[in-house]
Amino acid sequence: MVVALVLEYYQLLRSVLRAKPFLRACLTRCRHCRIFFLTDLRNAGRHDLRCPFDCRAAHRKEASAQRSAAFYGDAMGKIKKSHINQRRPSQASATRPPSQPPRVPAPTPRPVKWDPEIVEHVRVVASLIEGRRVSRRQVLVMLAKNLRQHSICRRGKIDQAVAWLNKEPP
């Protein structure tokens, strides 16, 4: 399934580059997963970038874990962590309300939550392709509209329905 998505992504990327050859300068390869992606004009020519398809978040999380381990491995960090751990049980009992039955909220349809990094990446790429500034709100409206449409790829109705059911099971 991932191979098909990557293939579809590369076909779209190639078609954009054929239509807008000046964007070839913005094409770069992810330092981690090696996938090609379009970046902002200010980052053109850089080779130390990570793609917005979770490589940035994974690197940020890894660096945060290393900083945290280094801090709490230090003598002052161990003292601070000890104080935090000693306060934890008293906070839990102090904030617990008297025994009441838990309230269960009524289920409401939730709007789709988009990953902010992906939305920003789509905004940058759309701005590059259209040659004008595209706002975050315009991108969210476009994504909401595209959720109601069939995908661009050439699939039969059955394949389209199966893909939709896999994404949103009943």
pLDDT digits (tens, 9 = 90+) for 9-63: 889 899 999 999 999 999 999 998 888 999 988 888 888 898 888 888 888 899 9
- What is the model's pTM? 0.55
Q: Which residues pair with 27 in a beta bridge?
A: 38
Which DSSP letter does residue 111 get? P
- Do 86 and 70 touch, CB atoms closer than 8 A? no
Compute the distance between CA of residue 155 and CA of residue 152 in angstroms, rounded to an integer: 9
Give me the half-sphere count of Cα atoms (radius 13 Å) on the Cβ side of residue 143: 19
